[in-house]
Amino acid sequence: MTFIGRDGTRQEVDAPLGYTLLQIARENDVDIEGACEGCLACATCHVHVAPEWYEKVPAPSDDEEDMLVQHCRHVPPRLPDPHYRGTRRSGRDPAAGRHGVSGLVPEDGFLGRLIAAAPDAWQAYTAHPFVAGMADGTLPEAAFKHYLGQDYLFLIHFARAYGLAVYKADRLEDMRAASAVISGILDIEMDLHVKYCAGWGLSEAEMAALPEDPACMAYTRYVLERGMAGDMLDLHVALAPCVVGYGVIGARLAADPATKRDGNPYLAWIEMYAGEDYQEVARGAAAHLDALAARRGGEDRFADLAKTFEAATVLERDFWQMGLRAANA
């Protein structure tokens, strides 16, 4: 078997019959991440099958279909890697549609209907002045730095929320998927966040010592309360404005010709969330929520879940407002 690295280096190794690709890689010191150690639970290691091979592999099982839906298990950090340059998607405006989610969230899906049920809150969140300031590069640095510091604290509670998802899950695949998210946040995303913030003059020690802003406290505790009082569906509905909303915002700003490119200190943030990696995560999160709603009686609970979604969206809006308020203090 031949492994080809990102730099083009080729490594030929023995491949014993019956071994998985991950096992062969590990036996030969080939660096491939596998958070679940090859248990088919997290998708941190995966393969892309060439179209000409589609007919040569069997149809996916139900468990494999669930894993494909839940491939968003690693929610990327709410801050980009400082070295990430992103990719701007071409073609039609990915933010087109009645609620700015066409191409990302099916409008007739469960999440699309939640968004449609809270149009004012969704608009206030995704088109907030903080967002507009990032688009044209006029957002005060003090606002963004306050946001960065509070987002460090947010990530800690985000990991706790997925810990709660493990407890609330009634299927092993759901437990494994939530566990992989926790690992991704604590082992990967927090480190990326700290490195990015260092570029803005913020050390981890400084951020860890920050008092939690009431807006951060309100949002994170609301998510945890919804998860503790309800089930997995309640929890994921409360998390959805964050995971999917950032994808919608990034796609819209990247597609807007009015967005400033040259000399915009926030362009890396925009390109992170407009990039295909995060767009795929957002689509996967929407699909996962739709599937979860189908299993958990979402239609019969729609009115209550719509209230949860709207409240969480308002709290996301307040997270932006928190930054502007700090800059004006």
So what's the pLDDT on residue 145? 96
CA atoms of 70 and 284, how far apart (whole Å): 6
So what's the pLDDT on residue 85? 32
Q: Identify the residue with better confidence: 106 or 134.
A: 134
Q: Identify the residue with better confidence: 41 or 205.
A: 205
Check pLDDT > 70 for residue 313: yes
CA atoms of 246 and 270, how far apart (whole Å): 9
Label residue 36 by pLDDT band (50, 70, 90).
low
Residues 21 and 79 placed together within one structural domain of the fold:
no
So what's the pLDDT on residue 64? 58
So what's the pLDDT on residue 202? 95
The whole-model pTM stands at: 0.72
Q: What percent of the chain has pLDDT over 70?
A: 78
The H or E element containing residue 316 is: helix 302-327
Check pLDDT > 80 for residue 134: yes
Q: How far is CA 305 from CA 112, 118, 231, in A?
A: 13, 11, 11
So what's the pLDDT on residue 75? 45
Residues 55 and 115 placed together within one structural domain of the fold:
no
Residues 33 and 172 placed together within one structural domain of the fold:
no
Residues 87 and 15 placed together within one structural domain of the fold:
no
- Kindly state the average pLDDT of the residues 206-227: 97
- Kindly state the average pLDDT of the residues 130-138: 97
Residues 70 and 213 placed together within one structural domain of the fold:
yes
Q: Identify the residue with better confidence: 174 or 9.
A: 174
Lowest mean pLDDT among 11-15, 226-230, 254-258, 301-305: 11-15
Check pLDDT > 90 for residue 221: yes
Lowest mean pLDDT among 167-171, 183-187, 210-214, 252-256: 183-187
So what's the pLDDT on residue 48? 62
Q: Which of 24, 41, 62 is the last residue of a domain?
A: 62
CA atoms of 194 and 201, how far apart (whole Å): 10
Please write the tens of the pLDDT for every residue from 156-189.
Answer: 999 999 999 999 998 898 899 889 888 888 888 8
Check pLDDT > 70 for residue 43: no
Residues 90 and 53 placed together within one structural domain of the fold:
no
So what's the pLDDT on residue 71? 45
Q: Which of 46, 62, 78 is the last residue of a domain?
A: 62
So what's the pLDDT on residue 40? 54
CA atoms of 322 and 315, how far apart (whole Å): 10
Residues 57 and 74 placed together within one structural domain of the fold:
no
Q: Identify the residue with better confidence: 198 or 76.
A: 198
CATH number for the domain including 138?
1.20.910.10
Q: What is the mean pLDDT of the chain?
A: 82
Look up residue 303 and give its two tokens.
């009115």
CA atoms of 219 and 222, how far apart (whole Å): 5
Which amino acid makes up residue 299? E
Q: Which of 62, 85, 107 is the last residue of a domain?
A: 62
Check pLDDT > 60 for residue 115: yes
Residues 26 and 97 placed together within one structural domain of the fold:
no
CA atoms of 244 and 101, how far apart (whole Å): 9
Residues 17 and 118 placed together within one structural domain of the fold:
no
Look up residue 238 and give its two tokens.
């409360």
**Count of domains in the chain?**
2
Q: Identify the residue with better confidence: 10 or 201.
A: 201
Size of the chain, expressed as the number of residues it contains: 329
Residue-number span of the structural domain to which 262 is assigned: 66-327
Check pLDDT > 70 for residue 310: yes
So what's the pLDDT on residue 212? 97
